[in-house]
Structure 1
């Protein structure tokens, strides 16, 4: 068992994501790279107050 936890290979936060893969994902999911991730949320924080 490894003592190092947290380096799961996801990439994004550390900046190791392949540029071609990133471009493919942005195109596939029609994401705007200038838009923050939380702007896509439609959770409870986006509901109008009662």
Structure 2
């Protein structure tokens, strides 16, 4: 079974549609950018509440 045929499955397509925006919001969240660049430590990040 290929990835393309898997994406034709309604349940998996719906799941992918729901996960995609969430994934982008997490990856591109400014705090994660600062963490990645080393401007923010994990200890500092623990003090933040991330709004979904």
Q: What range is the shorter-chain TM-score in?
A: under 0.3
TM-score with structure 2 setting the length = 0.25
Ranked by relative contact order (alpha carbons within 8 Å, sequence separation 6 or more), the top structure is: 2
TM-score with structure 1 setting the length = 0.26
Greater fraction helix: 2
